[in-house]
Amino acid sequence: MKKNIVLFVLFILPIGAYLFFATGVNGFTHLPIVTKKVPDFGDWHSLKNEKVSLDDKITILGFGGFDLMKNRGNLFNLNEKIYQQYHTFNDLQFVMICPVGKEQDAQKIVDALGATTDMSQWHFIFAKPEEISNYYSKLKLRENLNKDLGTENVVIIDKERNLRGRNGKEDYKDAYSTFHPADLSNQMLDDFKIVLYEYRAALKKNHNATKQEFKD
């Protein structure tokens, strides 16, 4: 009897746990769409004086607000826990929408992060307060911007401009807090990996299909 119990704990229980989690809400292979086809950015200028678009990019999007410098620690958390590990993925970008007039503060943050980080896929873009409020409303998020037009939360937007997250009744998640590094290392990192996995799997499938065409 004891031997059977030991065998159960060592072999059967782990397999059962794997099957349980593999059939979860997200299935570890797809992250649900929370908001379809969010609008692209307006004709807003960036620190690099270049056009920034959501099209054909996996985007981590945030809102810096007027208190950008005060809350810069959140960006350092995001940079350390997510960006530095995955910024070599060419189709990825991190975008912060800030009010016009906060360009100098944004540059200070870029300079500080740039001391240890390749900032080529970080973008700060600037819009008028009313434009920011209007754009944020189109994301259809549960939590509002604060009075300074900022938030500690960021969202994941895929290449088709769909906002991704968890849409279960008991596990709803449309945005991810950058305030606590542990939150970034858990839920957001897990969900972010799922989106990357989707596109990497699609690229591999297309590559294999192309190879087969040449063979035929």
Using the CB atoms, write b or e for 182-191: b if 16+ within 10 Å: ebbeebbbeb
Instruction: For residue range 10-52, list pLDDT tens digits in order.
Output: 555 555 444 434 444 444 568 999 999 999 998 999 999 999 9
Instruction: For residue range 122-171, list pLDDT tens digits in order.
Output: 999 999 999 999 999 999 999 999 999 999 999 999 999 999 999 988 88
Is 49 contained in some domain?
Answer: yes
Instruction: For residue range 163-176, list pLDDT tens digits in order.
Output: 999 998 888 999 99
Which residue from 52, 131, 158 is spatially nearest to 96, judged by alpha carbons?
52
Is 22 contained in some domain?
Answer: no
Is 174 contained in some domain?
Answer: yes
Which residue from 134, 116, 56, 66 is spatially nearest to 96, judged by alpha carbons?
66
CA dist 159 and 34 (Å) reads 14
State mean pLDDT over 181-195: 92
Q: 100 lies in which domain range?
A: 30-215
**CATH code: domain of residue 188:** 3.40.30.10
Taking the complete model, does pTM exceed 0.85, yes or no? no
pLDDT at 25: 42
Which residue from 85, 81, 80, 126 is spatially nearest to 107, judged by alpha carbons?
126
Number of domains within the chain: 1
Are 215 and 78 contacting, i.e. CB atoms less than 8 angstroms apart? no
